[in-house]
Amino acid sequence: MSEKQKINWGVRFKNKVWVSGFVSQTLLMLQAIFLGLESLQVIDINIESVDAWVAWLTGITNVILAYLAYLGLVVDPTVQGVGDSYKALKRTEPLREE
């Protein structure tokens, strides 16, 4: 890892929970961008023509994506699973850079 790089992306992308959160956040962000562009009439998405079941499915999908994004935020990507490392659990203050 280079001296300038402050995030170990290789380790993060090996953690499936972090990856699911990252992908979920990206998809939710893209959806927000498209809906924002549609509301500004930059692009044309006819939301009214969407069937009720598609709207329901979109809502359920958003809930699942938001939950996965939340898991990706609270997980320590440097350990396997959804826990903190032993060292992190013993700390009372954030680790300072040298």
In a domain, 35, yes or no: yes
In a domain, 4, yes or no: no
Q: Which two tokens stand for residue 10?
A: 């290789």
The count of domains in the chain is 1
pTM of the predicted protein model: 0.62
What pLDDT score was predicted for residue 3? 55
Distance CA 78, CA 44 (A): 42
- Domain of 59? 13-76
In a domain, 69, yes or no: yes
Distance CA 43, CA 5 (A): 37
In a domain, 17, yes or no: yes
Q: What does the chain come to in residues?
A: 98
What pLDDT score was predicted for residue 94? 64
Examine the pLDDT at 4 and tell me if it is beyond 70.
no
Region 63-83 average pLDDT = 74
In a domain, 2, yes or no: no
Q: What is the tens place of the pLDDT at every residue in 12-51?
A: 788 887 888 888 888 888 888 887 888 888 887 776 666 7
In a domain, 85, yes or no: no
In a domain, 66, yes or no: yes
Examine the pLDDT at 2 and tell me if it is beyond 60.
no
In a domain, 32, yes or no: yes
